[in-house]
Structure 1
């Protein structure tokens, strides 16, 4: 059985690169919440206290954002239209994380980490929105089932 629409080469490139990119938040979330000393050694005591002291709702948003994007990338590689839903769910999680880090606790994060959280958030938003629009375009072309 052959596919009605041939999979474009760029889907494999974008899907593969996005899977690698989105593996980082999965690893970061897991090792941070397991209190892995090797992973947390990159932070000083003030930074560590800020990161580990986040409320549960913020950690849930972090998990939804990171794991949602990872699943979205997997589904993109499987040519599933549900990748769009996964990326949208990830955006909801990212919105919560962004709110916590930049709005609710912006001064504390800036004092502890400088402008890094701002630049990281902007980068993640740009890539996530690009993946969402790419998945929507592939669905419109009939590539995603």
Structure 2
């Protein structure tokens, strides 16, 4: 083993896997907080309006996005090729959820630039990156 690899895999694989797992676990925590009425009460009014008014299909998409991403990251760290398919499901969940956020919620809520980046751009970028990265890591032989 040299300074650049751990178990034949470049150290960056483990770092990216760990950081994106933390990102997706934060999404899972956010999901559970949104399902808890006491936690929702502490949200800013704009966020509470999104959660309370969200239809079941958008909530389901949110669940697929965060749980698919978290499980995909876990499988990525375990070097399993099924991570790729969970990342695709996660991206689809993100897109469907954003249909609600952009199409319905944004008509009544004025999002700040920070909210736009965290609610809209970051989930899309991270989900798309993980799809690409899992295939790239597989091509390097890091995923078996």
Using structure 1 for the length normalisation, give the TM-score: 0.85
Counterpart of 2:100 in structure 1 is 100
- Count of aligned pairs between the two proteins: 137
Query: Contact 2:95–2:124 (CA<8 Å) still a contact in 1?
Result: no
Shift of 1:94: 0.4
Unaligned runs of 5+ in 2: 1-6
Structure-2 separation of matches of 1:143 and 1:136: 10
Alignment match, 2:29: 27
After superposition, the Cα gap between the structure-2 partners of 1:103 and 1:39, relative to the gap in structure 1 and judged at 3 Å, is: closer
- The residue that corresponds to 1:76 in the other structure is 76
d(CA) in 2 for partners of 1:50 and 1:19? 25
Where in structure 2 are the equivalents of 1:43-54 lying within 5 Å?
43-44=44-45, 47-54=47-54
Q: CA RMSD in A?
A: 1.8
Relative to structure 1, the CA distance from residue 38 to residue 59 in structure 2 (aligned partners, 3 Å threshold; closer, same or farther) is closer
**SS of 1:109's equivalent?**
coil
Deviations 1:33-54 (A, max 9, x none): 122x24541323x542332221
Question: In 2, are the aligned partners of 1:91 and 1:128 still within 8 Å (CA)?
Answer: yes
Q: Following TM superposition, where does structure 1 have runs of at least 4 consecutive aligned residues deviating by more than 3 angstroms? A: 113-117
1:95-134 alignment, distance < 5 Å: 95-110=95-110, 113-120=111-118, 121-134=120-133
1:54-69 correspondence to structure 2 within 5 Å = 54-69=54-69
Q: Which runs of 5+ in 1 are unaligned?
A: none
